Structure formats: structure tokens, C-alpha cells
Structure 1
Amino acid sequence: MIYIQLFLSFIQIGAFSIGGGYAAMPLIQNQVVERHAWLTMSEYTDLITIAEMTPGPIAVNSATFVGIRIAGVGGAIIATFGSILPSCIIVSLLAYVYYKYKGVAALQSVLSSLRPAVVALIAAAGLSILHLVLFGGSTIQFANVNWFGAGIFLIAFLILRKWKWNPILVMSLCGVVGLGLNLLL
């Protein structure tokens, strides 16, 4: 019975958490803390912290953690499967439709008109992260600038654009430099 509850709870989370991991957090809280009382609120906040620290989507990491906590390895597999199943179905259906109708001019027109919107969404996300790094999320004032963050950003940008280094290597180096600067200062 617990396997069915885990599966149904996380398939709901996977199906209705449109907008990414942060959009899934209230749904996870509702299912895990309020509806089934599998975790306390304190344990839930620990869960979110762990899910953000580990690689992968928050909903999938949360499903694995809750599943293993409630029903062992089998629970982790069932909960994780429930959380990814809706996405797998939707992506498979979209891929089928795309490959079936990729030659249709109307579909190509729709896809080409979506490209600028996708670029704008990515740019907006990048600018919000840059704002957070440079100003700590506060209002934009010259006195609030995090000069170390700005310097790391500019150096990383130049390395990526001019010398075409591996982005994973650049991110790792930025993390090491940022950690070193925070420990020293």
C-alpha cells in the first residue's frame, strides 16, 4: 500500500510541477508533510536543502530521498519513477508529433517564432543570476556591488568567449576561486 501511495503522490508532483524544481516545492510539501505526514516540516526543509545540493532535479532528488526514507530502496525506485513518468510521457508524445509533422511549414513557423522567446527566457534567467551575484538581490546601487563576483564573472566570460575553455572546468574553477576568496576575506 505504501508503494502505491508513494507512486501516486510523486506522479502528481511530476505531472503538475510545471516551471521547474522550485515550482515543485509546494507540491512536495503538500504531499509529504501535510497530506501523508511522512516528514515533519523541519525534515522537509532538510530534504529541500539536500535535494538542492545533490546533482539533478529537486523533484527527483526529493522523490528518491522520501521513498528511501519511507519504504527503503523499493520506495525510492517507485517514488522516483512516479516523479519522472509524466515528463517521459509528455516528451515522448511531443517527439512523436514533431517527427510526424516536422515537414509541415506551419510547425516550422511556430518553432522559429518560439526561438526568440526561448532566448529571452534564458537571458532573463542569466540577468537575474547576475543581479543576485553583483547586488545580492538588493536594489541596484553602485555601493552594493560585489566586486569579487563581478571580477570572477568577467574573467570567466572572457575565458569562455576568447579561449573557448570547457564550461564545466570554468565553473569548477570559479567555485574554487569563490570559495578561496570567501575563506580568506
Structure 2
Amino acid sequence: MNLLKFSAARLKLLLQLFGSFARIGPVSFGGGFAMLPILEREIVLRRRWLDEDEFGEVISVSGVAPGGVGVNAAAFIGYKLGSVPGMLAAVLGIMLPTFVLVLILAIGFSAFRQYPKVIAAMEGIQMAVLALIAYAGLKLLRSSVFDGASLTVFAGSIAALLLTGIHPLLVMVLGVTAGCVLVLAKGHFGFAVRFEPKKRRRERSADPAVPRYPELECYFGEGI
């Protein structure tokens, strides 16, 4: 009986992962960082599989890892919730419907691309994608830049990207190094070291018993 309950609960989670990411992929025009607002709404606000801090960490790692941000995020979230089967369900969910849709568009777009209304629609989509990327950037900025040290690394990274010809990968490596050095230096000289905004820490400590993964409790136990 317990085995049947375990299998049913696990299957339900896998179907939910596939369904959630299958809905996200086809409606996320621009892909990558443009899909982050939709991804956050589904994963953090609707499903409550992750909180905002965990979601920010997943996006940070997804952005520096090879491959698309959306697919990487799906893989990380799926693995966190359901191990390898969860990762496969999430990645298939975000890729399969999008692949079919893009295939259909690629076949039909060449026949209609010269029409003025189609051109106008594409220009409108570009502006919408720009707005989505800006929104995602502001959300990450709020959760990542919260003291002088993180602001220094952020400003230095922006300056390096805009004013020099340094490769973005090197900028990321230098940012990681600078962050580690600043944290060690602050600890050495006796300054307080923070890794998240004060408001988030108060919210997290105020209600530690709220489960973040309700779908997993039925076969992993409470308190996850």
C-alpha cells in the first residue's frame, strides 16, 4: 500500500512538473531571461515549489551554466523536486511543445514574413521581450544587491561589460572571485557578513514551519 502511495504521489509530481513547464515554454516569447517572470509566477507564486531566494539561486546558476537559461532552470528545479525523473519531466515539458511550435512557425513564417502586419507583430514582440528581460533583471537585482559589497561587485561587472572588451565568462569568474574575497575580508576585519536582504531573513525566520514543497510531503514526509 505504501509503495502504491509512493508511486502515485511521484507520478503526480512528475505530471505536474511536465504540465507546468509545458505551459511556460510556448508562451515565453524570447526564451532565456524573458521567460523568468512567467517561470517565477508558476514555480514560486502558484506552485510554491521554491521561495524567492531559492529561485534566484537557481537562475544565477542557470545563467552561468552552458546552455539556455530556461532549459537549465527547468533541469535544476526538476532535479531538486524529483531527482533525475523530475529533471527529465521538466526538461521535456519546456522543450517538447516549444520544439513543435517553432517547427510549425519555421515552416509557415517564410510564406508570410513580407506582410506589413506580420512585420509589425514581430516588432511588438521584440519590445515585449525587452520589457520581460528588464523585469527579470530588476527582480534579480532586488534579491542579489543588498549591501555595499554586492553593490560594488555589481557596479564593477556592469562597468567591465560596458566599458571594456572583457569576455562575459571572465567577468563572471572575476565577479565570483571578488565576492569571495570581499566576504573573507569582511569576516577577517570583524564586519557583519550578510548573504541575503534583512527583510527576507526576517520573513524566513518568522515562519520556519511552512512547507515549501507540499507535493513532496506525501512520500518524503513532513518538514521538507
- Using the alignment, how far apart are the partners of 2:131 and 2:158 within structure 1? 19
Structure 2 residue 134 is the aligned partner of structure 1 residue 130: no
The gaps in structure 2 that reach 5 residues or longer are: 25-37, 63-71, 187-224
Give the alignment's Cα RMSD to 1 decimal. 3.3
Q: Distance in 2 between matches of 1:64 and 1:3?
A: 17
1:181: how far off?
A: 1.0
Alignment of 1:105-144 (within 5 A): 105=115, 106-134=117-145, 136=146
Q: 1:112 to 1:4 in 2, by over 3 A?
A: farther
For residues 136 and 165 of structure 2, what CA distance do their matches in structure 1 show?
A: 22
Cα 1:162–1:66, aligned 2, differ >3 Å: closer, same or farther? closer
One-letter identity of the residue aligned with 2:87? T
Aligned residues: 149
Q: 2:79 is matched with which residue: 64, 71, 77?
A: 64
Task: State the alpha-carbon separation in 2 of the partners of residues 184 and 158 from structure 1.
Answer: 23
Aligned-pair identity in percent equals: 17
The one-letter code of the counterpart of 2:42 is A
Distance 2:16 2:127 in 1: 31
TM-score normalized with structure 1 length: 0.62
> Structure 1 residues 114, 66: closer, same or farther in 2, change over 3 A?
closer
Higher relative contact order (CA 8 A, sep 6+): 2
* Structure-1 residue corresponding to 2:42: 23
CA distance in 2, matches of 1:97, 1:20: 24
**Secondary structure, in 3 states, of the residue corresponding to 1:102?**
helix
Q: CA deviation at 1:28?
A: 6.9
